[in-house]
Structure 1
Amino acid sequence: MTGGAGGLAACLSDRGDLLAARAAGERLMALSKALDSDPAVLLTQEQGVEAFRHYPAGDVYDLTSHAQYYYHSHRDGEFGHIHLFQRPRGMARGLAPVTPPKEADAPCHLIGVGLGPWGEAVELFTTNRWVTGEAWYPAEAVKTMVAGLRLAPPGPWLAVSQWLAGLVAFYRPLIEVLIDERDRAVEAWRMTHPGRDVFNDERLEITSTRTIDPAADLAQLGG
């Protein structure tokens, strides 16, 4: 697993990137203020959270873009996290998984978002294939999906979806670094564990991670 140093600011290569990140960060702040409550409360509808259960029931699915996400927790008392995916019908032409998936509609995991005690975003992370049962796409394909993410399903989850899309837009440069680190972590594991199926090796779970603080990260950019 990679928990490397260097946050969003370290991923911006020029003034154009900086200005784009500032604008995305300011939009994210506006979307955060527009939420009636924190994302976890909204997605669980203030229910008691049962370990491994998806919230909301049936996940949030954008029928136009075929992006999908859900919130869950692995154990009682954990603050939980969001898993964000892209289904094949919403992918750009020419993107293909490393190996053919068992299910034609198997999604690609884009990023995980860890939440804190008040439902705030505190972490970004990537996972090994077995964690979500995804189809495994190479880093460049996943980055293309992140760049093209559209997430605005009409109905009760619109505000949370817009917030999540805004978070991804703001942290896109960092997410791209995490996706590259994911592939490097998997390859390093493969080299040091010969004879094992790296994508199904449960000893490798989180493949890259960074702590985040949207307000502080925007302030660091001068926004």
Structure 2
Amino acid sequence: MSAAAQRVDTGRAAHGALARQLRLARQGRSMLFPFIGRSRRFEIWAHYPRHDAVDSSGRWQFYFHVHDRAEKDSARHPQEHGHIHLFRRSPQGKLTHFAGLALDARGLPLCWFATNQWVTGERWADAASLVRELAHFELRLRGPLSGAGLWLGDMVRFYATPLRQMLEQRDAALERHCRRHDQTRAQAWADRRVAVWSSLPVNWPQDALSAAGPLTQ
């Protein structure tokens, strides 16, 4: 993709994500609503939706959940209410963690993050394999989470370049940890001292407003 085409795609992604949040805001709702608004009872650690969301291609899977606030976790953003885990999905249903997106209590994004393998029990993939997915990323779903899927897809495309850098930093941090602690990759993946290898703070919605131009919806 040329630099000009990438700028156009980034602008469209920013506009799409902002417009979806604006439509919800006009209804007095946030981006948390598609995930938990219809739940009769909200539970810590539970997946929302209950059996995760899988896009129509079967290649992507995601869910929202909230950790116990009493749990000490220095890797979590201090304003985080909960986060979305996004996975690449193999034809056999094996999951590879692509990125997490932390949201505050208003449903506004705070940061992206790349977890260690033990956090989700994923099938690990190197950054080079994952970043190839960024160029034409999209999430298509049917039902009540279709809008949330389109919003999350816009978020991934908008932050595609810094997400690539975050994933590359994840791999570099893993290698440094292995050398420093004389561990194999498998040992480092299971090391519970490390929950997050790298993260990407975001300034939302200011980041998008600077790229999207005026909203007309």
Q: Which bin holds the TM-score, normalised by the shorter protein?
A: 0.7 to 0.9
Cα deviation for residue 144 of structure 1 reads 1.4
Q: 1:41 to 1:105 in 2, by over 3 A?
A: same
CA deviation string 1:78-126 (max 9, x = no partner): 600000011112xxxxxxxxxxxxxx53211111000012011111111
Deviations 1:23-42 (A, max 9, x none): 32122212222335222232
1:218 CA drift (Å): 2.6
Q: Which runs of 5+ in 1 are unaligned?
A: 1-12, 90-103
| Larger CA deviation: 177-186 vs 146-155 | 146-155
Q: What residue in structure 2 maps to residue 27 of structure 1?
A: 16
Matches within 5 A, 1:191-202: 191-195=179-183, 197-202=187-192
Percent identity, please. Answer: 28
One-letter amino acid of the counterpart of residue 123, structure 1 = C
Q: What is the alpha-carbon root mean square deviation over aligned residues?
A: 2.2
Checking the alignment, whether the CA contact within 8 Å between 1:113 and 1:121 is kept in structure 2 is: yes
- 1:108-119 alignment runs, 5 A limit: 108-119=96-107
Q: Which runs of 5+ in 2 are unaligned?
A: 71-79
Cα offset for 1:146? 3.3
Tell me: CA distance 1:20–1:134, structure 2 relative to 1, closer, same or farther (3 Å). same
The 2-side partners of 1:149 and 1:21 are apart by 12
Aligned CA distance change for structure 1 residues 25 and 222 (closer, same or farther; 3 Å):
closer
Secondary structure (helix, strand or coil) at the match of 2:57 reads coil
In the other structure, the counterpart of 1:145 is 133
Question: Secondary structure at the residue paired with 1:145?
Answer: coil
Correspondent of 2:124 among 113, 116, 136: 136
CA–CA distance in structure 2, aligned partners of residues 73 and 222 of structure 1: 30
CA contact (8 A) 2:18 2:208 kept: no
Contact 2:116 2:195 in 1 (8 A): yes
Contact in 2 for aligned 1:65/1:151 (Cα 8 Å): no
Higher RCO (CA-CA < 8 Å; seq separation 6+): 1
Q: C-alpha displacement at 1:219, in angstroms?
A: 3.7
2:199 — aligned with what?
209
Cα contact 2:87–2:99 (8 A) shared by 1: yes
| Contact 1:67–1:150, Cα closer than 8 Å, also in 2 | no
Q: Once the two structures are superposed, what CA deviation does each residue of 1:60-85 show, in whole Å capped at 9, x if it has no partner?
A: 11242431100011114860000001
Q: 1:154 to 1:16 in 2, by over 3 A?
A: closer
SS at match of 1:112: strand
Partner residue in 1 for 2:90: 88
Q: What is the aligned residue count? A: 197
TM-score, with length taken from structure 1? 0.79
Distance 1:149 1:134 in 2: 20
Q: Deviations over 1:141-191 (max 9, x none)?
A: 111123343311111110111111111111111111110011011111111
| Residue 173 of structure 2 corresponds to residue 181 of structure 1 | no
The answer to whether the 8 A contact 2:36-2:42 is kept is yes
TM-score, normalised relative to structure 2 = 0.82
Deviation at 1:137, TM superposition (A): 0.6
